[in-house]
Structure 1
Amino acid sequence: MTPKDPLTTQATADAGSAPEHDSAADRPFRVRLTVRHSDLDTNGHVRGSAYVDFADHARWACVQKAGVDPLEMTRSGLGPVNLETTIRYHRELRAGDEFDVTCVFAYDGTDKKTGRATQEFLVADGTLAATVESVIGLLDLETRRLVPDPASHWRRLATVPALLGAD
């Protein structure tokens, strides 16, 4: 891995770079990221697709922190899917800005196949920069259909299922 340069390296979820919560009681999970020049649009602020990339990165970091092994999940025939994403911008992020992305998962049981991931992008002083909300599910990799009750599958796969809203 290359040295950490906030303007050129891939955003990472290094254990010592930001507070990551170890128990569900300490939710929401958060990961610290840094804006790179490649994340910017011609206006000099983070482009929309980079917010989606940051949100995906943070969700995967949360899944792994919950104790889910991505390879084991694939071997079990499941894969997480994002069915819809809404981004709300509150304050622009620019090159070199450090920010935290939180992850909160919820399964309300209305259709038994989908849930919601709500993620806040917070700058160091706590100012809300953006909110990303996604409709999520788990895909049966053989049938290519959403599985019912995804929370039950997360409980089976995770050592800390509460981080994934499956408590």
Structure 2
Amino acid sequence: MELFSSIVSIRWSDLDPNYHVRHSAYYDWGAQQRVEVLNNLGLSMRVMQENNFGPILFREECVFRKEIHMGDHITISLSMKSVNEDGSRWTMQHLLTNQKGDLCATITIDGAWIDTIKRKLANPTPGVVIETMKKFPQLA
């Protein structure tokens, strides 16, 4: 299965005083892409809100390999690195590549689902969650 990919538009506000992309912009891009992918797979913010659950991150790590500058064309790809049997805990990975195909950064996140009322880890709708998580391409 192919990775979920999208093109990142680099904005002036994404730059730091050294004229390359500031570190926190990478995390913003990853978060936005994850929300969009979940939404496209049927696990929308509305579904999560109606069922009182949402994603929570334990770890988010970015390894920076090449600078990204204004004018670069960046593709960000998302895949599932690992997921437990019921879909309640998972690790996802984003690969950010430039127009030459060079790997610029890797973002790895470990997460789970939280019950937004009880404020505890939960898998309130295991059928929906696991079916959605199975739709992700698996990282080899």
TM-score by length of 2: 0.85
Post-superposition offset of 1:124? 1.9
Q: How many residues align?
A: 136
Question: Taking structure 1 as reference, are residues 139 and 33 closer, same or farther at Cα in structure 2, changes over 3 Å only?
Answer: same
Of residues 124, 132, 135, the one that matches 1:162 is: 135
Contact (CA 8 Å) 1:62, 1:164: kept in 2 or not? no
Output the amino acid matched with 2:57. N
Post-superposition offset of 1:150? 8.2
Of residues 108, 116, 124, the one that matches 1:133 is: 108
Output the amino acid matched with 2:67. E
Pick 1 or 2: higher relative contact order, CA cutoff 8 A, min separation 6: 2
* Distance in 2 between residues matched to 1:150 and 1:49, nearest whole Å: 32
**What is the Cα-based RMSD across aligned positions, in Å?**
2.4
Identity of aligned residues (%): 21
TM-score by length of 1: 0.72
Query: 1:32-88, CA deviations, whole angstroms, 9 ceiling, x for partnerless residues?
Result: 111111001111111111000011011112112212221121111111112211110
Alignment map for 1:16-165 (pairs within 5 Å): 25=1, 27-105=2-80, 106-108=82-84, 113-148=88-123, 152-155=127-130, 158=132, 161-163=134-136
Output the amino acid matched with 1:107. V
Contact (CA 8 Å) 2:115, 2:124: kept in 1 or not? no
Unaligned runs of 5+ in 1: 1-24
* Distance in 2 between residues matched to 1:161 and 1:151, nearest whole Å: 12
